[in-house]
């Protein structure tokens, strides 16, 4: 799966500030960015050799199995499951409908939504409603989050994922390789900026990488008003696909599910204020990362021992050392979403969404 094809930026409103990594063609939206820690306008130098780096194949702690406390099974699933949360409730896309889930009681309401197609749609809940990107249909819609009624509809070229900075809503375009601002009243698109739809938002800026994290690998900061590149950060090769985490202190750059020989991939933590790499972690192939109460949790696929295990790894942000591991079992997981009562993980192959207790995330 390609970068923004496996977990587009999700709106994660958790018991802590959380921003998820982009990486699957559906079901994502950005969390509201912080306004602190703006990077220097000067391009950074290559990462310092003094940066603490974890052992290439560090011995991972024994993963503790965790069990779901609730399961929502979806009818006729196919691939990635579009979903979003406002921190209390969830909206989960099915083909032709949206399932609204009360995060406190688990009660569900099915909303008719012909524009939704699993593995092809993106959802984002914002203050003015529920936004839908219909990639195949080349359109975006704003829906009433309670009834599913279409309130706004407009054309958009291959829309994939939403990003919010301040009051401005942006939608990514896969064929046009960039972002368009969206008029929230009419849905009309403004002037395109950027060179990829693989972006994150934070510290008042848009951050983009390169689809393959090529050499030289760089992360760029863009001014959302003009699209001008205001900073360039050099990162190690194979980590330059984009950034995720929590601005400004837990910003990680990596390439989802990239693994060179040896089965290990790398993530580096950058300081958006000065454009420096300040820490690194070598892990099994990385899917995504979320930050909960200051701890980055990496969703990985661990191929050791002859079987592929899906795990959540808690990483020390200063040293890159893994200090706790949770075994998710037989899932095909996508980036976790959070409400005040639980952690929700979509199982793409299983066509289901599982809720886990927040108490599981202890390190």
- Mention every residue, 6+ apart, whose C-beta is less than 8 A from residue 19: 9, 12, 30, 31, 33, 200, 201, 202, 244, 245, 246, 247, 290, 291
Per CATH, the homologous superfamily of domain 3-35+50-360 is YVTN repeat-like/Quinoprotein amine dehydrogenase (2.130.10.10)
Secondary structure (3-state) at 287: strand
What pLDDT does residue 75 have?
Answer: 83
> Where do the domains of the chain lie?
3-35+50-360
Q: How far is CA 318 from CA 201, 203, 224, 246, 323, in A?
A: 23, 21, 30, 15, 12
How many CB atoms sit inside 10 A of residue 315's CB?
Answer: 25
Q: What is the mean pLDDT of each run of 10 residues along the chain (363 residues)?
A: 30 32 32 30 40 60 94 84 96 94 93 91 96 96 97 98 94 96 97 93 95 84 96 93 96 84 82 94 94 95 77 96 93 93 93 94 69
- Which contacts (CB < 8 Å, 24+ apart) does range 179-183 have? 179/206, 180/156, 182/140, 182/154
- Positive or negative, the CA dihedral 90, 143, 81, 189 is negative
Q: What is the pLDDT of residue 306?
A: 66
Please tell me the pTM assigned to this model.
0.85
Percent of the chain clearing pLDDT 70 (strictly above): 82
In this prediction, residue 303 carries a pLDDT of: 74
> From the centroid of its chain, how far is CA 307?
26
Our separate counts of H helices and E strands in the chain read: 0, 30
Q: What is the pLDDT of residue 25?
A: 28
The pLDDT score that the predictor gives to residue 11 is 28
pLDDT, tens digit, 9 for 90 and up, residues 77-111: 678 899 999 999 999 999 899 999 999 898 999 99
Largest CA distance in the chain: 55
pLDDT score at 262: 54
């Amino acid at each position: 799966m390609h970068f923004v094809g496996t977990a587009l930026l999700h709106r994660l409103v958790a018991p802590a500030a959380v921003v998820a990594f982009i990486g699957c063609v559906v079901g994502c939206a950005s969390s509201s960015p912080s306004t602190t820690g703006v990077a220097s306008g000067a391009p950074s130098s290559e990462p310092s050799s003094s940066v603490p780096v974890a052992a290439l194949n560090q011995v991972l702690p024994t993963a503790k199995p965790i069990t779901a406390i609730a399961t929502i099974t979806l009818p006729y699933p196919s691939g990635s499951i579009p979903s979003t949360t406002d921190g209390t409730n969830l909206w989960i896309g099915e083909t032709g409908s949206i399932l609204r889930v009360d995060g406190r009681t688990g009660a569900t309401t099915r909303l008719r939504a012909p524009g939704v197609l699993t593995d092809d749609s993106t959802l984002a809940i914002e203050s003015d409603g529920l936004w839908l990107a219909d990639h195949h249909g080349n359109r975006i819609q704003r829906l009433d989050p309670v009834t599913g009624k279409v309130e706004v509809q407009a054309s958009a070229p291959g829309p994939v994922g939403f990003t919010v900075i301040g009051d401005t809503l942006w939608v990514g375009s896969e064929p046009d390789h960039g972002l368009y601002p969206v008029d929230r009243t009419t849905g009309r698109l403004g002037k395109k900026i950027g060179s990829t739809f693989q972006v994150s938002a934070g510290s008042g800026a848009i951050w983009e990488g390169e689809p393959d994290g090529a050499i030289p690998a760089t992360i760029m900061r863009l001014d959302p008003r003009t699209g001008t590149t205001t900073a360039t950060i050099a990162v190690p090769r194979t980590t330059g696909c984009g950034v995720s985490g929590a601005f400004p202190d837990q910003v990680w750059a990596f390439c989802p599910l990239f693994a060179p020989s040896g089965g290990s991939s790398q993530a580096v933590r950058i300081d958006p204020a000065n454009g420096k790499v300040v820490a690194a972690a070598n892990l099994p192939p990385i899917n995504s990362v979320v930050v909960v109460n200051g701890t980055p949790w990496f969703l990985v696929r661990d191929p050791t021992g002859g079987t592929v295990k899906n795990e959540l790894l808690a990483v020390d942000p200063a040293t890159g050392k893994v200090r706790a591991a949770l075994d998710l079992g037989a899932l095909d997981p996508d980036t976790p979403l959070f409400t005040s009562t639980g952690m929700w993980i979509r199982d793409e192959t299983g066509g289901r969404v599982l809720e886990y207790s927040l108490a599981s995330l202890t390190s």
